[in-house]
A = this chain, B = another copy of it.
Amino acid sequence: MPFSYHRTIHFADTDAAGVVFFANYLALCHEAYEESLAATGINIARFFSDHGIIIPIARSTADYLRPMMCGEKIRVTITPVVLSENSFALDCTIAKLGPPEKIAARIRTEHVCIASATRTRIAFPAALADWIKAAG
């Protein structure tokens, strides 16, 4: 089942055009990813540090469909998709709550598991594989 993360747009997310800075849409998706990992019991401080395995983002694509303003309520829905035995994508939708509800962005990030000592790809660690199975 896809994971949903609720959030209010903060003033610090915005820029002088009065709306969320485009790069910050990606940060919102990463927050949802963190919350989803944490919800399954993964220690995210350890997960995102170098503990022998690193899982960098190799690629992102984003379609910015609507502006978002300070104080607006949003829901970020993320669905992991297996790409290979050592890589996965997150399909993210940012919706502005309504009524009527409107899609503000569709974003995909691609993540690769790397053994940090050898800089080579390795299979998903078990906790991550479980999370992908549960959330996908």
Contacts and interface: CB of A to CB of B under 8 A. Distances in A.
Given A34-B10, A38-B8, A15 B17 contact: no
B21 A18 contact: no
Contacts of A24: 23
Q: How many copies does the complex hold?
A: 4
A32 to B, nearest CB: 10
Interface residues of A, number: 43
A57 B26 CA distance: 13
A16 B48 CA distance: 7
Interface string A56-83: 1111111110010111100000000000
Q: Which of A8, A11, A27, A56 has the most CB of B within 10 A?
A: A11
Contacts of A56: 17, 22, 64, 67
A17 B35 CA distance: 17
B70 A18 contact: no
Contacts of A22: 26, 30, 56-57, 60, 109
Contacts of A45: 16, 18, 69-72
B17 A12 contact: no
